[in-house]
């Protein structure tokens, strides 16, 4: 599988956004259970977050991201970039690497 870094950006008022966070977190749990999610978390500026995931192709990664409730409901925009990790020890972060 290939590794993708996803940047999510909130595009609506936080008062509209926040009630949808439980659905987003549940979806991330599904991705983790399926072996796609490596890491995720909010940006400290509270304007979005990041997801590191694995998928067979860019199209497959896009499908996974577009099924996220925050994206599907038009609350987040996103950017996906394939990330070829060449330095470091990712297995220290993700033991199954």
Residue 97 lies in a domain: no
Query: Could you report the per-residue pLDDT of 22-48, keeping only the tens digit for each?
Result: 999 999 999 999 999 999 999 999 999
Q: Which of 82, 91, 89 is nearest to 58 (CA)?
A: 82
How confident is the model at residue 93, as a pLDDT? Answer: 65
Residue 89 is predicted with a pLDDT of 67
CATH of the domain at 6: 3.30.70.1060
Note whether residue 15 is domain-resident: yes
Residue-level pLDDT at 28: 98
Going from the C-alpha of 68 to that of each of 6, 42, 91, 96, the distances in angstroms are 12, 15, 26, 24
Q: Which domain holds residue 64?
A: 2-92
C-alpha 85: how far from its chain's center? 17
25 assigned to some structural domain: yes
Q: For the whole model, what pTM was predicted?
A: 0.89
**Number of domains forming the structure of the chain:** 1
69 lies in a domain? yes
């Amino acid at each position: 599988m290939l590794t993708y870094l996803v940047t999510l950006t909130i595009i609506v008022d936080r008062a509209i956004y926040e009630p949808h966070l439980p659905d987003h977190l549940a979806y991330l749990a599904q991705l983790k259970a399926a072996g796609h999610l490596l890491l995720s978390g909010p940006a400290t500026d509270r304007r979005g977050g990041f997801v590191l995931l694995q998928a067979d192709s860019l199209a497959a990664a896009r499908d996974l991201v577009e099924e996220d409730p925050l994206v599907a409901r038009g609350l987040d925009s996103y950017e996906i970039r394939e990330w070829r990790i060449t330095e470091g020890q990712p297995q220290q972060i993700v033991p199954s690497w």
